[in-house]
Amino acid sequence: MSALDLTTASGLVRALLPEVTLTVWSLVVLLVVAWRHRTEGDARLAGWLSFIGLLTAGAAQLWLWLAGAAPAGLPQMVALDTFRFAGNGIILLMAAVTVLLSLGYLERERMAVPEYYPLILLATTGMMFLAGAEDLIVVFLGLEVMSVAVYVLAGFDRRSIFSAEAALKYFLIGAFASGFLLYGIALVYGATGNTNLTLIGAQLATGTAPLMGRIGLKAAGFLALVRVLMEAFPSLMSQWQPVIAVLAIATMIAGNLIALNQRNLKRMLAYSSVAHAGYLLTAVWAGTRFGAGAVLLYLLAYGLTTIAAFGILATLGSGGERTVGNDDIAGLADRRPWSALALSICMLSLFGFPGTFGFIGKWYILQAVVHQRQVILPVVLVLTSVISAGYYLPVVMAMYMKPGRAESEAAASGRFGRFAAAAVAASVAAVILFGLWPAPAIDGVLRSGAALVESAPPIAAGE
C-alpha cells in the first residue's frame, strides 16, 4: 500500500477503515433492531450481526496492518502505526468475546433487549478512536463516544436499582473527568497553538513551553492515552512521571486493600481492576518502547483473563451474580470440574502466578520500570501483588478444598451455551499458551511499542 495522504477525504477514510466499518455495522444493527425487537430470537439476530461486524472491522484492521499503511508526511488526526493496530486488535477481540458471552447471558437475566448490541459496537468504536488518536480533539471525541454508550450500558437493567445507581455515578464522574480533560486541552492549545500530538511534542521539545503548557499537562495528560504522553509530552517526562507514579502507587495500594475486604466475587474482581490499572500506570511511567509494549501486553493478558472469569461467574448465579461468594463456589470442582479449572487458571493469572499470561505481563512491566532504574514502583507492585493472594487464592481453595453443597436452581440453569463455552475455553487456553510460550506476544508488543516511540520527538533520557 502506498502512503496515505491524510489531508484528503479518501486517504482519511482508508486510514479510518476499521472505525468506519464498525460505525456502519452499528447503524445496520440499529436499523435491524428498529425492525425486529420483540423476541429473544430478534436479540440473538442483533448479537450475531454485531459479531459479524466486529469480525469485518478486524479484517479491515488486519488489511491495514499487513499492507504496511503509513501516513504521507505528518500524521493528521489519526495514527497509522503498529501501536494503533495492536491496540485495536485487542479491543476488537475483547468486544467479540463479550458479544459471544452476552448471547445466552442476557436471555437468562431476561434482558434480551437487542439495543444492547449497537451500544457495544459504538463503545468499541470510541475505544478504537482513542487508541489511534493523533490529535487531542480526537482523544476527546473518542472518549465521549465510548462514555455515552457505556453510561447506557451501565444502567441497562432498568429493573435493578443497582444498575441505575451505577449509571448515575458513572455519568457524574465522567462529566467531571470530561471537564478536566477539556480544560487541559485548552491550556495545551493556548500554550502551543496546536492540538496535533506530534506538533505539540516538537514544540515542547524545544524547551520554550510556557507555564500554561506545563499546567495543561498536569490536568489532562495522564487522563488520556499512552500515545498522548509519549508523542506529545516526552520532553516533559520529568513533569508527568511524578504524577503517574503517585497515581500508580495509590491505585495499587487502594485497589488491593479494598478488594481484600470483599466477599462477593464480582465486586472483588471489580475492585481488583483498580489495582490492575495501577500496574498499567507503572508501565506508562517508564515512557519507553518497553513501557509502551508492556501496556499492550498487560492489556491483552488482563483482558483475556478477566473476560473469561466474568464469563464463568455468569453461569454461577442470577441477578447479576451479586450474591456469588466463596461459599457459593465451595466444592465446585466436584460439580463442574472444567469450570473450576478454568476459574482457577483465571485467578492464578490475575495473581501473577508463574506459567500464566498474567505473570508474563507483570514481569514485563517490572522489566520496563527497572530498566529506567526506578525502585519504588517495582517494590510497591510486588508487595501489592502479594496482598492480592489474600483474595485470589481463597477462590481456588474454596472450589477444591471446601465441602460442596447443592447447586442452586439459578446456577443449574446458567450453564454455558456452546459459543460462550468456546469463547471462555479459547480465552483460558490463550492465558496458558502465552504464559508458557510468550515469545510471539512479546515480540509483537516490542515492535508496536517501538513504532510509537520512534514517532515521538527525540529525548535525552529513556529508550
Q: Which residue has the higher pLDDT, 233 or 301?
A: 301
pLDDT confidence tier of residue 169, bands split at 50, 70 and 90? confident
Average pLDDT score over residue span 149-173: 85
Closest CA to 284 of 223, 332, 326, 358: 223
Phi, psi of 452 (to 5 degrees): -70, -45
pLDDT interval class at 459 (50, 70, 90): very low
**253 neighbors 247 (Cβ within 8 angstroms):** no
pLDDT at 258 over 90: yes
Phi, psi torsion values for 312, nearest 5 degrees:
-70, -45
Across the range 25-35, mean pLDDT stands at: 92
At 463 the pLDDT is 44
pLDDT of residue 53: 95
Element (H, E) at 28: helix 17-35
Does position 342 have pLDDT exceeding 60, yes or no?
yes
Query: Is the pLDDT assigned to residue 191 strictly greater than 50?
Result: yes
Rounded Cα distance, 43 and 109, in Å: 13
Confidence of residue 214 (pLDDT cuts 50, 70, 90): very low
Confidence band (pLDDT; 50, 70, 90) for 211?
very low
Greater model confidence, 407 or 190: 190
Reported as half-sphere exposure (CB side, CA atoms, 13 A), residue 377 has a value of 30
Q: What is the pLDDT of residue 317?
A: 65
DSSP collapsed to 3 states, 220-248: HHHHCCHHHHHHHCHHHHHHHHHHHHHHH
Q: Of 121, 149, 126, which Cα lies nearest the Cα of 56?
A: 121
Residue 339 has pLDDT above 70, yes or no: yes
Averaged over 213-235, what is the pLDDT?
54
Asked whether residue 143 carries a pLDDT value surpassing 90, the answer given is no
Taking 50 as the threshold, does the pLDDT of residue 215 lie above it? Answer: no
Model pLDDT, residue 392: 93
pLDDT, the chain, mean: 83
- Are 320 and 111 in contact, with CB atoms under 8 Å apart? no
CA-to-CA distance for 237 and 372, rounded, in angstroms?
A: 12
Q: Percent of the chain, pLDDT > 90?
A: 32
Picking from 120, 433, 123, the residue whose alpha carbon sits closest to that of residue 305 is 433
Which DSSP state fits 346? H
425 or 76, which is more confident? 425
pLDDT of residue 220: 31
CA distance 127 to 303: 14
Q: Which 3 state secondary structure label does DSSP give 78?
A: strand
Residue ranges per domain, the chain? 1-132, 240-458
Q: Per residue in 19-46, is it b (16+ CB within 10 Å) or e — as a string?
A: bbbbbebbebbbebbeeeeeeeebbbbb
3-class secondary-structure state, position 71: strand
Q: Which amino acid is at 409?
A: E
Helical ranges in 135-264 per DSSP H: 136-154, 161-192, 197-204, 211-220, 226-227, 237-260
pLDDT the model gives residue 389: 93
pLDDT digits (tens, 9 = 90+) for 378-397: 999 999 999 999 999 999 99
User: Between 63 and 416, where is the model more confident?
Assistant: 63
What is the CB neighbour count within 10 angstroms for residue 250?
A: 14
Predicted local distance difference test score (pLDDT) of residue 457 = 46
Residues 266, 322 contacting (CB under 8 angstroms): yes
Residue 146, CB half-sphere, CA atoms under 13 Å: how many?
19
| 120 grid coordinates | 457495544
Q: Which residues contact 240 (CB under 8 A, 6 or more apart)?
A: 217, 218, 221, 222, 229, 233
pLDDT band at 218 (very low <50, low <70, confident <90, very high): very low
- pLDDT for 414: 56
End-to-end Cα, the chain, rounded Å:
29
The pLDDT score that the predictor gives to residue 381 is 95
In angstroms, the CA 340 to CA 332 distance is: 6
The confidence band for 68, taking pLDDT boundaries of 50, 70 and 90, is confident
* pLDDT band (50, 70, 90) for residue 461: very low
Tens digit of pLDDT for each residue in 425-447? Answer: 999 999 999 999 988 888 887 78
pLDDT at 447: 80
| Burial (CB count <10 Å: 0-12, 13-18, 19+), residue 10 | exposed
CB 4 within 8 A of CB 69: yes
d(CA 31, CA 7): 32
Q: What is the mean pLDDT of residues 98-109?
A: 84
% the chain with pLDDT above 70: 86
pLDDT given at position 206 = 64
Distance between CA atoms of residues 451 and 86, nearest Å: 11
Q: How far apart are CA 13 and CA 363, in angstroms?
A: 39
Around Cβ 263, how many Cβ atoms within 10 Å?
Answer: 12
Phi, psi of 264 (to 5 degrees): -90, 130
CA distances from 2 to 66, 70, 72, 304, 332 (A): 12, 8, 9, 35, 56
Please check the confidence at residue 262 and state whether its pLDDT lies above 90.
no
Q: How far is it, in rounded angstroms, from Cα 338 to Cα 399?
A: 11
Is pLDDT at 221 greater than 50 in this prediction?
no
Q: Is the pLDDT of residue 115 over 80?
A: yes
pLDDT at 23 over 90: yes
Q: How confident is the model at residue 458, as a pLDDT?
A: 44
Q: Does the pLDDT value for residue 292 go beyond 90?
A: no
